[in-house]
Amino acid sequence: MLRRYAALALLVGLVSCNGAGTSVPVTQNAQSAPAGMGFSPALLPPMAPIRTEQGAIDGIDDRFVPPDGDTPTGGHGQTIDGKVPCLPTMGNAYHVHVFLGIVYRGQLMAVPDTIGMKEPGPEVDGFTNSAKCFYEIHTHDASGIVHLEVAEPHPLSSVVFKLKHVLDVWGVQHGEKSFGPFKGKIHVYVGNPTALGQTTVSAYAPFTGKHWTSIGLRSHEVIWIEIGKPYYNAAQLPPVTFYMEY
């Protein structure tokens, strides 16, 4: 049994990845697994801090189907949920960003780029900035940053969309024990900045509402979706630094 855990720890340490494909080695200061999980602490290597530079790849890329853009049930030009249109140009009257982190069995999976873009143009340095139309919810790269851009003005502190709108534009299938191609019980954590502006978010709390898809999206909010054991607890999840103002 001990030999099996040691082998698993070595395997996870070799394949764990965070940010632009950089390996995250198992280190001696890895924090302990949450109580009652029954896993060795070595199976939870610390994730490196997230820096959401333009064009970054935060996590293991191309693990969703399709690897980029929306699924067949997502947005392809039609208005989503009667609320989210696909527009010829991106609106900037209200323009904020959230970070979506998806962790499967202890490994960060990159959110696909070009979610919410119909017929996206060419990628330049990991960033796509052209499309036939843009949903008011979209991603330009695989950094985990979701852009919320609305033509009508709203206070930057207001909540215009919910997590459900992101998932519906993307079209990713999800339930209490699955997310896209990944199977396992879901744990969700949320972090919010103390003030608007460029910031680092590092304090997280478990979502305790009725359903996690109802989470309202705020400027520089961080949402972690963990699928399957072993789970990081709130204190083990890495800080996220936003390079943009809001």
The answer to the question of residue 176 being in a domain is yes
Residue 206 banded pLDDT, cuts 50, 70, 90: very high
- Nearest-angstrom CA–CA distance, 147 and 58: 16
The one-letter amino acid code at 138 reads H
Q: Is residue 9 part of a domain?
A: no
- Please check the confidence at residue 222 and state whether its pLDDT lies above 60: yes
Q: How confident is the model at residue 43 (pLDDT cuts 50, 70, 90)?
A: low
Q: Is 214 part of a structural domain of the chain?
A: yes
In the prediction, which pLDDT does 139 show?
A: 98
Mean pLDDT of the 119-127 span: 96
- Report how far apart the first and last C-alpha atoms of the chain are (Å, whole number): 49
Average pLDDT, integer, range 110-115: 98
Whether pLDDT at 26 is above 50: no
Q: Cis bond leading into 153, ω under 30°?
A: no
Residue 26 in domain: no
pLDDT of residue 175: 93
User: What is the pairing mode between strands 137-138 and 86-87?
Assistant: unpaired
Residue 108 lies in a domain: yes
Q: Is residue 200 part of a domain?
A: yes
**Band (236; pLDDT cuts 50, 70, 90):** very high
Q: What domain range includes position 198?
A: 50-241
pLDDT given at position 241: 95
Averaged over 58-65, what is the pLDDT? 97
Position 133 in a domain: yes
pLDDT of residue 61: 97
Question: 32 near 41, Cβ under 8 Å?
Answer: yes
Q: What is the mean pLDDT of the chain?
A: 85
pLDDT of 117? 98
Domain assignment of residue 14, yes or no: no
Confidence of residue 145 (pLDDT cuts 50, 70, 90): very high
* Counted domains in the chain: 1
Higher-confidence residue of 244 and 31: namely: 244
